[in-house]
């Protein structure tokens, strides 16, 4: 999917429908001049409903739909006739969509499963007609209830992709290369930072026809939790992963130090990420001199003891350690404590997030904007175009 079509953040204004007013009416018929109250109830206002759709992978369909409003309920009529109910507005969203308040950043709800329905804003109830207020001492009530007002709020929809394994690493750590080797995904690969601009998903085949899903996010740099680089926009995509695969190139000066920097950024973003299973893959081992298997195993054991997580040396180019890495990931994924992926969604910083989105919007506008020099430097002189047939 082109990066311009991957939309995982939208802010929209939603408003439910208000309830219809009850009717104040008295029955009138021949030979029945005082038939009594028969005002009907008002109709219910439409609600704003979110529904999960597994066929959607992005929020692109909501990018230019900034206002979503349900219809109001109809007014009640005579002869105890009810007003028409307002139509609900159903918003189709991908599974894994999280909803926040657009003004405060507080978490509201999330949609996880296919066809799961969540009422975001409830429509107002219709008012009761004067028929409901008749009593022995008040046989002709001249009042009825108004309908309940509509609910409105700004909401932020964020997509957090669903995957089993999430790749975490600095730019150019070899994450996209690994994903392209172990799955059929075709992410962009190049020798410069931030080649990956949007999350990429791939299905990794395992033994006996089994498989698991792996997600690659743009590289994280130090300070990503404060908005540096692209990490702030895409760190949320690894919140649902059961296992985090950290990748540090073998050419790094201090592998343990780079691992702790990545871990610190995840902790600042959401401390609950540290509770997930972690594996460290030392990539690009083909760039080093040939190392005996016994020496490599000893080095892995020492580093694993120091960091407290499994460590494996891999090379996506030569295939070194790829099978061993798959085995380690499969073992972690099948552990009972990693089966249920539950994580609380922390409130988001509205100001920082809006600033990041505005920067992206400005970049997109710069790419698409066309400037005509005649409009900037001089006025259109139509006289010089006359006589060539276009104005006849």
Q: What angle do the packed helices 293-307 and 255-269 form, to 10 degrees?
A: 40
| Predicted model pTM | 0.68
| 180-189: long-range pairs with CB below 8 Å, 24+ | 180/316, 181/316, 181/319, 181/322, 182/214, 182/322, 182/326, 183/214, 185/216, 187/216
Q: What is the pLDDT of residues 294-303, one digit of tens each?
A: 666 777 788 8
Which tokens is 355 given?
């600033």
- Look at residue 43 in the predicted model and tell me its pLDDT: 94
CA 128 vs CA 46, 107, 149, 371: distances in Å = 17, 35, 14, 60
Quick one: CA dihedral 290, 296, 302, 303, positive or negative? Answer: positive
Low-confidence ranges of the chain (pLDDT < 70): 1-5, 187-198, 221-234, 289-296, 338-346, 349, 351-392
The first and second tokens of residue 88, run together, are 């609900």
The pLDDT tens digits of the residues spanning 77-115 come to 988 899 999 999 999 998 889 999 988 889 999 898 899
The residues facing 204 across adjacent strands are: 212
CB neighbour list of residue 330: distance below 8 Å, 6 or more residues apart: 206, 210, 212
Give the closest residue to 202 by CA, choosing from 233, 221, 176, 230: 176
Residue 71 has what pLDDT? 95
Would you call 14 exposed, middle or buried from its count of C-beta atoms within 10 A (0-12, 13-18, 19+)?
buried
């Amino acid at each position: 999917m082109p990066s311009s079509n991957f939309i995982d953040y939208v802010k929209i204004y939603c408003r439910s429908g208000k309830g219809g007013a009850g009717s104040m009416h008295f029955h009138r018929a021949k030979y029945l001049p005082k038939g009594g109250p028969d005002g009907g109830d008002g109709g219910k206002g439409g609600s704003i409903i979110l529904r999960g759709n597994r066929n959607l992978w992005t929020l692109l369909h909501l990018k230019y739909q900034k206002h979503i409003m349900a219809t109001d309920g109809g007014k009640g009529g005579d002869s105890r006739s009810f007003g028409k109910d307002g139509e609900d507005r159903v918003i189709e969203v991908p599974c894994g969509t999280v909803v926040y308040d657009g003004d405060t950043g507080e978490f509201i709800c999330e949609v996880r499963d296919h066809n799961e329905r969540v009422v975001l804003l409830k429509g107002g109830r219709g008012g009761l007609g004067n028929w409901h207020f008749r009593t022995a001492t008040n046989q002709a009530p001249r009042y009825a209830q108004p309908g309940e007002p509509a609910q409105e709020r700004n909401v932020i929809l964020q997509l957090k992709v669903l995957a089993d394994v999430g790749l975490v690493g600095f730019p150019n750590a070899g994450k996209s290369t690994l994903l392209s080797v172990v799955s059929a995904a075709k992410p962009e690969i190049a020798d410069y930072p931030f080649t990956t601009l949007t999350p990429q998903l791939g299905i990794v085949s395992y033994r006996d026809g089994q498989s698991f899903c792996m997600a690659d996010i743009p590289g994280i740099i130090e300070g990503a939790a404060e908005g540096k680089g692209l990490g702030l926009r895409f760190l949320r995509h690894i919140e649902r992963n059961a296992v985090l695969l950290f990748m540090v190139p073998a050419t790094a000066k201090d592998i343990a130090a780079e691992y702790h920097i990545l871990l610190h950024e995840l902790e600042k973003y959401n401390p609950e990420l540290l509770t997930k299973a972690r594996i460290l893959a030392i990539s690009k081992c083909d760039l080093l001199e040939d190392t005996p298997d016994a020496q490599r195993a000893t080095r892995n054991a020492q580093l694993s003891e120091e960091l407290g997580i499994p460590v494996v040396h891999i090379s996506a180019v030569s295939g070194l350690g790829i099978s061993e890495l798959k085995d380690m990931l499969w073992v972690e994924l099948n552990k009972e404590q990693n089966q249920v992926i539950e994580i609380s969604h922390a409130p988001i910083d509205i100001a920082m997030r809006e600033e990041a989105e505005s920067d992206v919007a400005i970049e997109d506008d710069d790419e698409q904007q066309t400037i005509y020099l005649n409009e900037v430097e001089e006025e259109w002189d139509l006289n010089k175009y006359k006589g060539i047939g276009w104005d006849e």
